[in-house]
Amino acid sequence: MTQLKPRIGVVAVGRPTFDVDYANEIFDKVWASLATLPVEIVGEKALHFESDPALAAFNAANSAGIDMLLLLQVTFTDSLVCAEIAKSLDVPLVLWTFPEARTGGRLRLNSFCGVNLASHTLSRMQKTLDNVHGAPDSVDSLSKIEELARAAAVVQRLAGSKILVVGEHPVGFDACNYDVQLLKSRFGIQAEATPVSDFIESVKWLPDSVADEPYARRATDFPNLGEMDQDATRKTLKVYAALRSRAENEGFDGIAVRCWPEFFTQYGCAACGAIALLNEDRRPGGCEADMFGVISSLVLQWSSDQGVFNTDLVDIDPASDTMVFWHCGQAPIEMADPDVQPTATIHSNRKLPLLSQFALKPGRITLCRITQGEGKLRMMLAGGDMLKAPLAYSGTSGVARLDVNADIFRQRLLDAGMEHHCSLAYGDHRPVLRQIARYLDLELIELA
């Protein structure tokens, strides 16, 4: 699944009592600059000096379906148009304002005063806006607009998402619980549950041939695949085929799976390898039926356009200021250290395949979790570096150094009441994630 381009609705406003020629010059430069962004622009190239055509342009853009509205406050205007837009707008509103030279002569635009007036009016309506202030070709302004648009697009995509939950979370794993109604009302997420035993029975009835394609895929990835228990290996790949089929046919964006004990005891294989393949398909999977783990992975995946790993923090060494992120064998293979050959392996406790095994590659990382700790919804973020290191534990694992001392992170993690899972992706995606937290009205906690 590829990242969708954010759709930005654009409306430009001005007032004819200011310098119209200069305003049109600014507007032309802005429109040319917006065309350089990796977004889809929705709207007509027109600078409106009257409220009726401006509102008509907004209605046309809004009805086309947008992730964010960018109102170009080219000159000063009163707040009428902005207030009318805010009444019916259900996506973020951003006003771009423009500085002008201090010549000692005429104030030709007075752009910022317009957003100041609009911000006050919206505050009295219990509405908000974002402001970007900079020249039409300002790299910082364009970067900020792209960041806001990407965040808005993730929020919109999340509101239309569907997640399948196979089974209930294990007893004592309160970190994996969720409320279906809360997901719908708070995020717009639709959750659908199916009993794990029913799902396993449905997999048993599938023809063995559904494992052929994923087997060939994994044989290319893992030179030792033939050394695994072949019956159990193909069962894992049948599980993957069944999960992928449901995702494709029923529109599920991610899948949370009760991975143990039933897949081992009732079917004789590990679900881990199936979840790893889903992660590589960009339909993130979460073990232990961790719904918020899958939601966090979706948010991080859509923010980064990277594969995501729902992982545990399993070891902390204050002396070396390092820690280990691990899970049985679920990391997408794109995260493998390129200097080490990934291999197939068995579950360390249950002794059944199929799992991936490799050390994570070095590079900048972002950690994210939408958490229910302390009985409220928040977003946890952290940044750091994955180090080049030998495999710490069997499965998929990596040794990391975060932006705060390992022991400080440990204490902050526990003080915040964080869950044992968090989502990991390569790159620094915190700027976009901070905006997502703001748009979702989530308290932000940055642990590193």
Q: Where are the domains of the chain?
A: 7-159, 162-446
**pLDDT at residue 4 above 90?**
no
Average pLDDT taken over every residue of the chain:
96
Give residue-wise pLDDT tens across range 230-269: 999 999 999 999 999 999 999 999 999 998 899 999 999 9
**pLDDT at residue 381 above 50?**
yes
Which pLDDT score is estimated for 1? 46
Which pTM does this prediction carry?
0.95
| Torsion sign across C-alpha atoms 345, 243, 301, 408 | negative
CA 204 to mean position of chain CA atoms: 34
* E strand intervals along 39-134: 40-42, 47-48, 68-73, 93-97, 130-133
| Mean pLDDT of the region 293-306 | 97
Q: At what angle do helices 230-250 and 272-280 cross, to 10 degrees?
A: 40
The residues near 155 (Cβ < 8 Å, ≥ 6 apart) are: 67, 92, 436, 439, 440
Which pLDDT score is estimated for 3? 57
| Mean pLDDT of the region 420-424 | 96
Query: What are the angstrom distances between the C-alpha of 264 and each of 231, 258, 259, 320?
Result: 13, 11, 8, 37
| Mean pLDDT of the region 94-110 | 96
Which has more confidence, 117 or 173? 117
Structure-token pair, residue 268: 């004789």
Which pLDDT score is estimated for 173? 85
**Band of pLDDT at residue 171, cut at 50, 70 and 90:** confident
| Torsion sign across C-alpha atoms 216, 221, 224, 230 | negative
Structure-token pair, residue 421: 């899972």
Which pLDDT score is estimated for 176? 87
CA nearest to 324, candidates 398, 424, 381, 404: 398
Q: What's the longest Cα–Cα distance across the chain? A: 83
The highest-level CATH class for domain 7-159 is: alpha beta
* E strand intervals along 145-207: 162-166, 190-194
The residues near 249 (Cβ < 8 Å, ≥ 6 apart) are: none
CB-based burial, 108-130: b 16+ in 10 Å, e otherwise = bbbbbebbbbbbebbeeeebebb
- Residue that is written with structure tokens 């087997």 in the block: 215
Q: What are phi and psi of 69, to 5 degrees?
A: -110, 125
Which pLDDT score is estimated for 175? 80
| Mean pLDDT of the region 37-64 | 97
| Mean pLDDT of the region 278-285 | 97
Q: For the chain, how far is it from start to end, CA to CA, in angstroms?
A: 30
CA nearest to 100, candidates 34, 190, 181, 25: 25
Amino acid at 437: A
CB atoms within 10 A of CB 183: 18
Which pLDDT score is estimated for 348? 87
Q: What are phi and psi of 40, to 5 degrees?
A: -105, 125
CA distance 83 to 80: 5
- Second CATH level (architecture) for the domain 162-446: Alpha-Beta Barrel (3.20)
CA nearest to 352, candidates 266, 198, 241, 232: 232
CA distance 38 to 153: 13
Q: Percent of the chain having pLDDT more than 90?
A: 95
